[in-house]
Amino acid sequence: MQLSLCLPIQEHVAPKQNRVMGDPGTTEQFELPRYVYIIVLKQEGETWSVWRKEERTLKDADWKRTRYYGLNTTRGDSIYRYDEKIQYLLIGDRIKGRVFAICSNKRLTFNSSIASISDLDDVLAWKFSTAPDSIQENLHNIYSTPYNYERNGKYYCSFDCSTGTLYSVDLLMYHIASKVDITWNVDETKRINRTDPTQAVRLTRMDAVNLFNGDAFCFKPMENTVPTLPASGKSIQMVTPTDEGLWWEGRSYFYTIPYTVEGTPGYFPLQMIMQTNDSGDDYKPTLNLSIDTSSPFVPWLRANFMLSKPLAEGEPEAQYVNEN
């Protein structure tokens, strides 16, 4: 059986801009994976067992841009395909099963070793740690085979070698992290107020806080949950008091593992810290970003802020619902 590692990319992207489909913009630079973790399961009746499992080191030079000609809905799209052959000898084994894979530019740390995985339940429970800074900064370079992506009612990386014929499996891998794209604007009439300068508005601080920081599912990217909204956690700073060019309008983005709070499925609760006019008063809205948790693929999330008055501490913490 031969395996092919594939990453879908945008049609119009220059060769050095390795962007997976679904990512907006044209300037992001992505690193090609250097590590892949492969697990091959075989099925006998209702029983699943591990047939092969391994970690491989990948070479940048062996990733080639080409077209995808498999049976998935992405037929004809541009992809990066890993040229080096990954083959498993089937002599004496006429089996059917599934292949799972996760790949990354950085070596990953898991909640349990690949050696300890013995059946399908172990595979679906497998998680990697997002805690180290090197991983947080490279979430956009991690891809996997989502377990609930199906073709003709079957997991898309299934195989059936019961006929004894040569079988090939294309492992199309997708992002496990969502891009969060935030745009802000201050009402033009409020940017300067010569009559009452205290009512002029400058956005002098904006942070995204309480981002996912823990163990994330490898093959269930839309099923990460936390019991309650964390009191603290990883944060990303987008505007500071010295960023004069961003006081009135701007756009920024970051990547994080999308998650839902238990009991409130369908929303990723992104918390913000905002401050106007360098006042020292923190305004902390929670953005309930709408997501489809039944989808195999992580969404691109967007949030838009329009400010028309200075923000004050103690104001109601507004709940914004933004469509992805």
pLDDT at 91: 67
37-61 pLDDT, tens digit each? 999 999 988 999 999 999 999 999 9
pLDDT at residue 322 is higher than 60? no
pLDDT band for 139, please (50, 70, 90 cuts).
very high
pLDDT at residue 298 is higher than 70? yes
pLDDT at residue 147 is higher than 90? yes
Only one residue has tokens 């591990």, namely 50
pLDDT band for 67, please (50, 70, 90 cuts).
confident
pLDDT at 16: 43
User: If you ran DSSP here, which 8-state letter would residue 244 be given?
Assistant: G
The CA distance from 203 to 218, in Å, is 38
Greatest mean pLDDT range, 8-17, 236-245, 310-319: 236-245
Only one residue has tokens 């806080």, namely 209
pLDDT at 104: 96
What distances in angstroms separate CA 53 from CA 34, 36, 41, 174, 316, one per listed residue? Answer: 17, 11, 9, 20, 52
CA 317 remoteness from chain centre: 27
153-194 pLDDT, tens digit each? 999 999 988 776 667 898 999 999 998 889 999 988 888 766
User: What value does the mean pLDDT of the chain take?
Assistant: 84
The pLDDT of 269-277, averaged and rounded, is: 89
The pLDDT of 237-252, averaged and rounded, is: 92
Selection from 182, 190, 201, 308 nearest residue 250 by Cα: 182
Structure tokens at 34: 């250097």
CA 19 remoteness from chain centre: 12
CA 165 remoteness from chain centre: 36
pLDDT at 323: 47
| 3-class secondary structure, 116 | helix
6-31 pLDDT, tens digit each? 887 754 444 444 444 444 444 566 78
pLDDT band for 280, please (50, 70, 90 cuts).
confident
pLDDT band for 97, please (50, 70, 90 cuts).
very high
Angle, CA 137 vertex, CA 135 and CA 141 arms, to 5°: 75
Structure tokens at 127: 């998680």
191-229 pLDDT, tens digit each? 876 667 777 899 999 999 888 888 999 999 999 998 877
The pLDDT of 131-153, averaged and rounded, is: 90
* Burial of residue 172 (number of CB atoms within 10 Å: 0-12, 13-18, 19+): buried
User: If you ran DSSP here, which 8-state letter would residue 71 be given?
Assistant: S
pLDDT at residue 100 is higher than 50? yes
pLDDT at 98: 95
pLDDT at 108: 96
pLDDT at 181: 87
pLDDT at 7: 86
pLDDT at 124: 98
What distances in angstroms separate CA 59 from CA 175, 205, 321, one per listed residue? Answer: 20, 42, 42
pLDDT at 315: 62
Instruction: Judge contact between 216 and 257, C-beta under 8 A.
Output: yes
